[in-house]
Amino acid sequence: MDNASITDVWDRVVGSQPDPEQWLVIATGLVALLAVVPHGVWRVSRNAVTIAHEGGHGLIALLSGRRLDGIRLHSDTSGLTVSRGKPHGIGMVLTAAAGYTAPPLLGLGGAWLLAAHHITALLWGATVLLVAMLVMIRNAYGVLTVFLAGGAFLLVSWLTGPEVQAAFAYTVVWFLLLGGVRPVFELQGRRRRERAHGRRFGLPSGDWGGRAPDSDADQLARLTHAPAALWLFLFHAVALCSLIGGGRWLLGL
């Protein structure tokens, strides 16, 4: 590849693209909503949110000085990120808090890029992040999932025209914003069901207390001695504020 070709690619990535029509922005939002609300569809589409969730854990673990051992993604849309370092302290707290906040914050960042007309930059940036994450995946299903996601971004950014790129990028960002809200409600519901289960069998409130012992909120409660409900409130606040702010950017309000 000569210097002129490299310059052309660079200009294509960092340059600005025209805004899509308003109807396309609204249509992509509806498509994303249909990928989040119906339970049957969500069971599949939630894999994308899990990638962002575990990627958030992994990225913050590295940035906070922890050693990232690997990431696993499972077919039931659960995931696991393993890092080494002090079992307490700010690095561990930030790593644990990054999971549920990563999808909506990524969506908010994506909405900012789209509002600044950087559609191609968003697609290429997402591809780079997925390739970096692929290196840390430690199971076959996770490799397949991340490979397919990265391949989709690469193909759309390299082979399609502006309208298709815009439709794909806006759908992805809407999905991250909307899909970042539902997992927090699911976690809250799971904790509520466990609390009801404990009461049903007459277990002491200290043994249950509405906990999902392996959840990020309960891990943060143990790390900080702040109630898990407070961390749930933080997750809700980040997700809903990102959706409102990102939605306004996408709609040009």
Between the alpha carbon of residue 38 and those of residues 34, 43, 178, 182, 230, the distances in Å are 6, 9, 13, 11, 28
pTM: 0.89
- Is 139 buried (19+), middle (13-18) or exposed (0-12) by CB count in 10 A? middle
CA distance 106 to 56: 9
Count the residues in the chain: 253
pLDDT in tens, 77-116: 999 999 998 888 999 999 999 999 999 999 999 999 999 9
* Residue 193's pLDDT band (cuts 50, 70, 90): confident
The answer to whether 48 and 175 are in contact (CB under 8 A) is yes
- Residue where the block lists tokens 């199971």: 139
pLDDT in tens, 125-154: 999 999 999 999 999 999 999 999 999 999
How does DSSP classify residue 88? S
- Is 226 buried (19+), middle (13-18) or exposed (0-12) by CB count in 10 A? middle
pLDDT in tens, 213-243: 578 999 999 999 999 999 999 999 999 999 9
Which residue from 120, 123, 200 is spatially nearest to 162, judged by alpha carbons? 120
Q: At what angle do helices 119-134 and 39-63 cross, to 10 degrees?
A: 80
Domain residue ranges of the chain, discontinuous segments joined by +: 20-251
- Is 32 buried (19+), middle (13-18) or exposed (0-12) by CB count in 10 A? buried
Question: Would you say residue 196 has pLDDT above 90?
Answer: no
* Residue 164's pLDDT band (cuts 50, 70, 90): very high
- Tally the C-alpha atoms within 13 A of residue 164's C-alpha that lie toward its C-beta: 10
Question: Would you say residue 12 has pLDDT above 70?
Answer: no
Count of CB atoms within 10 A of residue 173's CB? 28
Residue 218 tokens read as 């309960």
